[in-house]
Every structure is written in C-alpha cells, then in structure tokens.
Amino acid sequence: MKKALFILSIIVLTVLSACSKKSKSSANVEIIDGIENIYNIKPPLHPNKTATLELDLKIGGEDEDGNIILYEPGKFVVDEKENIYINDTGDMIIKVFDKNGQFKHTIGGKGTGPGEFQNVGYMAILQDGGLLTLDTRARRTSVFNDHGEFRKSHQWRNSLSFVYLTTDSSYLTKETIRGEKSQIFIKEFDFSGKELRSYGEFTQSEIKLVRESGITMRLILPHTPHSIFAGDQKRQLLFHCFNNQYTIDVYDKSGKLIRKIHRTYEQIPFTHTDKDAEEFYKNFENAPNPMFLKIAKKIDLPKIKTIANRMIVDNRGNLWMETNEKKKENEIDYVAYDVFNRDGYYDSKIWLDRSPDLFAKGKMYKMETEEETGLLYLKRYYVVWSE
C-alpha cells in the first residue's frame, strides 16, 4: 500500500512539474519597477481548447394570459443565488426572476421619487446581496437591499457609466467630465457620493467634427483607439486596455497597478472596399438627410483595426478579450476571444457566434431576439469546455 502511494505521489509530482514548466515556457515574466510584466508568446497554452454553448434557460415571450414578459429589456445582472434582475425599460421597472426563470417580484418603477427610475443605464450586485443602479437620466445612484427595498441614493455632478466593482459600501465606475475635450476617469465612490479614490484619467474615443454643405456631423469613426475596462468582482481587480496596444493593465482594489499582461498580435487591416466600410455606411442609410451618407463616404476611414472591442471576466477569473478577428463557417459569423487565465497567461483562443453579456456560476447569459416572434429573450447557456 505504501509503495502504491509512493508511486502515485511521484506521478502527481511529475504531472504538476510538467504543468508548471508548461506555464513558465508560455510566457516570460519580469518585475519592472515593482510591476509584474507577463510577456505571452504568440500561441496559447491550450491551442486546441474549445468552448461550446448549450442552452439551459430562456426568459421572455408571453405568459399564460398573453402578456409580454419582457417588453423592452435592457441591462441585467445575476446574484450569487442565480436570481436574475432585468431592467424592463418599457415601464422602467426591474423584474426579478429566480434561477429557474420564475418571476419573483419587481423593484422600483417609473418616476422621480426615492427608489424610482427615469432611465436605468447600469446595475450591479453588492457584496451583501443588494442592488445598485445608475440612472443616467436622473443622474442618480440608488441602492436597494437584498429584498429590493430602497435604502439610499445620491446625485451626480458629472456623468457616470458602468459599474466594474462593488463592496458593501462603495462602487467603482467610469466618470465622464464633459467639455470642449471630454475627460474620463475611473473612480470609487461610497453610497453617499463621496469620492474615495481615483484610478486616474484614461482615453476615450475621439469624436470627429465634420462640417460640409451647411451640415455639422459629430462622429466616432470605427476602430478609434480608446480605453476599455473589465472588473473581477471576486478578486477586486480592474483590467484596462488601450485597445490599439495589446497590453492589459491590472489594478488591485487600492487602485495600484500590479501587473501588465502583454501578447504578440498581428494587426488586422480595415478593408475600405468590403464589409468593414459597408458596415460603417449602413449607419447613415436611413438618416433623415441623404447628405449624411454622401458626407460619410468622403471621410478617411482607418487603415487598421483596433485589437479589441471589449473585455469580460468569467466566474473562474479568466479574462476574455473580444478581438476584431472574425471568420465565417456554414453561413455563421464567429468572433475570436483571447482568454487569459487568472495568472495572466494566454490560455486559449475561443471562437463564439455570440457575444457574452455576462458570466455567472459557470454559465453565460445573453439577451437575444427570437427570429420567429421578434421578441427579446434573456438566454442562459452552459459553457462546455473541451480540448
């Protein structure tokens, strides 16, 4: 028996040693000015890894009485018990469903009073199970307890958008200061609106001002370099990438830069005579003035694409980078996601035919339109991994 255990221990140590060597050989790690720099080589650790999505649940359609369940669904979040909070913008009310998709209760309603909404732009689950909302029209943050009862609120002076991290008494958000040249900051506020810390100023998309034939157009051109962010709620980490450089900055909960994740990447050209330009021009086809499209076609478009559009963290702590690398198979469009593990190593490249809105408890959530009915459904998928 002891001999068998000894042999088993050797096997386990050998496997662990092999895994350790594999991780170390996948990237070079250097400490520069106290910051860990991870230089990932081009191929991922697991080049053959795939992830498929299997439908588990969908919420929407009509109830037994013929009432539409989700009229105009907007943002949604999922708590630790897998309760699902969906903002229905039609009547400006948050509908709460349990993990099986059964309706539980509502939060708020349209209005200007305490606990009421004018336009819920963003939501987040608090560490105590409560709910935080950002009302982008009322410029107000509201906090509710885990039963959906209103607790407190505060007004903003500048514009707030997105909620990347929360604690039991604060939240991390993006603040935009409007002006001749607008500025964006990542800041932490407490529930009274007091600024606790700033992570610094970052880069927003540049707005191009075009004047021609008496018409003024304010445009954000496709693939304009700008900052993108994602939060890891469990580890209280903030990820930032200036999306035309493949370097991901990692900040701890105190706002300190602790890691930089680098990856070799080949730039993708922006095709001016193909699908890329056509997608841009489609934005102006139904414009009230036909001159808008004519002016748009005279604008100098970029020569190369930015690296990514967005980042998202799954429940395992993996960071998913949604790249601008695309392919088409069997008439289905796929987008490549570069997945980095918790240690910052480039783990795998995953091709998906839909963009994840949220990960929770090993599942992916996505708001999708049913082709047959034209109604929006909140769908939940199992994420099935394979090598």
Q: Is-contact 92 110, C-beta < 8 A?
A: yes
The label of the residue with tokens 């349209």 reads: 110
Residue 362's region, left for phi above 0, alpha for psi from -120 to 50, else beta, is left
> Does any domain span residue 330?
no
CA distance 43 to 235: 27
Please tell me the predicted confidence (pLDDT) of residue 43.
92
The label of the residue with tokens 């693939």 reads: 223
> Does any domain span residue 335?
no
318: DSSP letter? P
> Does any domain span residue 119?
yes
Q: What are phi and psi of 313, to 5 degrees?
A: -105, 135
Task: State the total domains in the chain.
Answer: 1
One-letter amino acid for residue 92 of the chain: M
> Does any domain span residue 387?
no
Nearest by Cα to 318 from 71, 46, 112 = 46
Helix intervals (H) in 251-368:
275-281, 291-296
Which residues of the chain register pLDDT less than 70? 1-25, 272-274
> Does any domain span residue 22?
no
What CATH number has the domain bearing residue 252?
2.120.10
CA distance 112 to 118: 7
User: b vs e for 216-246, b when ≥16 Cβ sit within 10 Å of the residue's Cβ?
Assistant: ebebeebbbebbbbbbbbeebbbbbbbbbeb
Average pLDDT, the chain: 90
> Does any domain span residue 47?
no
Please tell me the predicted confidence (pLDDT) of residue 339.
98
> Does any domain span residue 372?
yes
Please tell me the predicted confidence (pLDDT) of residue 11.
39
Give 48's contacts (C-beta < 8 A, 6+ positions apart): 387
Please tell me the predicted confidence (pLDDT) of residue 25.
52
> Does any domain span residue 343?
no
Please tell me the predicted confidence (pLDDT) of residue 219.
80
Q: Is-contact 67 113, C-beta < 8 A?
A: no
Contacts 24+ apart (CB under 8 A), 42-45: 42/263, 42/264, 44/338, 44/339, 44/346, 44/347, 44/348, 44/349, 45/341, 45/345, 45/346, 45/347, 45/348
CA distance 355 to 339: 14
Domain span at residue 162? 56-317+355-376
Give 329's contacts (C-beta < 8 A, 6+ positions apart): none
